[in-house]
Amino acid sequence: MKFSRRIAEIPPYLFVEISRKIAQKRAEGADVVTFAIGDPDIPTPANILNRLQEASQDPPNHRYPESEGLPELRQSIADWYQKRFNVELDPSKEVLPLIGAKEGIGHAAFCFIDPGDVALVPDPGYPVYSIGTLFAGGECHWMPLLEENDWLPDFNAIPDAVADKAKALWLNYPNNPTGAIAGGEFFEEVVAFARKHDVPVLHDAPYTEVSYDGYKPMSFLEIPGAKEVGVEFHSLSKSYNMTGWRIGMAVGNPDMINALMVIKSNLDSGIPQAIQYAAIEALEGPQDAIEEHNDIYQSRRDKVIKTLTKIGLKVSVPKASLYVWAKLPDGWKSGPFSSLLIEEKDIVVTPGAGYGKYGEGYIRLSLTIDDKQLDKGLARLESWKIPDPS
């Protein structure tokens, strides 16, 4: 049996490999503590679940949904963007519900990339940006995200010939994996760059509602002219602990939204309608849970940073996202360090190299771990003397 070349070219998805390692260790009887995957451990708020249960009993919601989503949901998304970011959206043309933001991100490449085309992709970065490009037959021009540049890409370092050829620019703030943030000055630079080189901007923003110390992340679409050059992906997964329900959205430029709708309508049948009604409740109902969850994550963040610093890792305090990005001691590479940690302490972290070349030398720890497991893992880390890498 022969498979397409792309199957052979695709590297194993990072978290599938991590899940296999966890399963193997647990099968051997190990008590594994995992800081690896950013999947909120806190349940979906009760009001959202109640609306989901109620909607699931309504027979019309047992049938095929429409790919473009319920008009009521599109209106709720537009209203939420207006309230949260003061961004005005036309729900009929500038809003598209997604089966999770990951689905839309993966499909987006087919809207812009033909074989041989170039996408500008951050490194380190969420792997789906590059994998989607590969699926569409394109090539990645990697934009290094460096600590000395606050984990922001340097657009001046991109050759004009590459920028002019580029058919997509991927960005993600608050950032995964680094936890970095971006402000208005940076996004103004993004809009100017996109206009100069006629390149569509695809901004992935699922962590705007996960923030600490009073900081409130902004939307790329708040910048004048942003909607002329780009779209923003968002998700209810991290904001409302709804990862298992698979619902997100793309908003912004109407032509780009329509292109994504063309792809989606040929490949999926939309979000189950009961889940759409739950999403409406999430967006329109009480928002207290967001602050409550952030207080929990901030407490965990502070504990993790204290322990990592104590054992000799360098950490910048993130103002947003669900992750702590830690620099390893000199001489260590992320793969061997992560492997040693699971072998010696039954602790799983994500190696930075899994996010790209420039993630080497770092590890990522997720804050989506219940407090009992968190404390157990941190106690093991505090008792661990990191050996010499040689």
Instruction: List, for the chain, all residue ranges whose pLDDT scores fall below the cut of 70.
Output: 12-15, 17
Angle between helical axes of 46-56 and 273-284 (0-180°, round to 10): 150
- If one counts every other C-beta atom within 10 angstroms of the C-beta of residue 344, the result is 11
Global pTM reads: 0.95
Cβ count near 198 (within 10 Å): 11
- Could you tell me which residues are beta bridge partners of residue 233? 204, 250
The span from the CA of 65 to the CA of 274, in Å, is 10
Asked whether the domain spanning 46-284 has the same topology as the one spanning 5-44+289-382, the reply is no
Distance between CA atoms of 193 and 67, rounded to whole angstroms?
32
Per-residue pLDDT, 26: 80
**All residues at 6 or more sequence positions from 287 whose CB lies less than 8 Å from its CB, including other chains:** none
Locate the domains of the chain by residue range: 5-44+289-382, 46-284
| CATH annotation of 46-284 | 3.40.640.10
| Superfamily in which the 5-44+289-382 domain is placed by CATH | Aspartate Aminotransferase, domain 1 (3.90.1150.10)
pLDDT at 7: 81
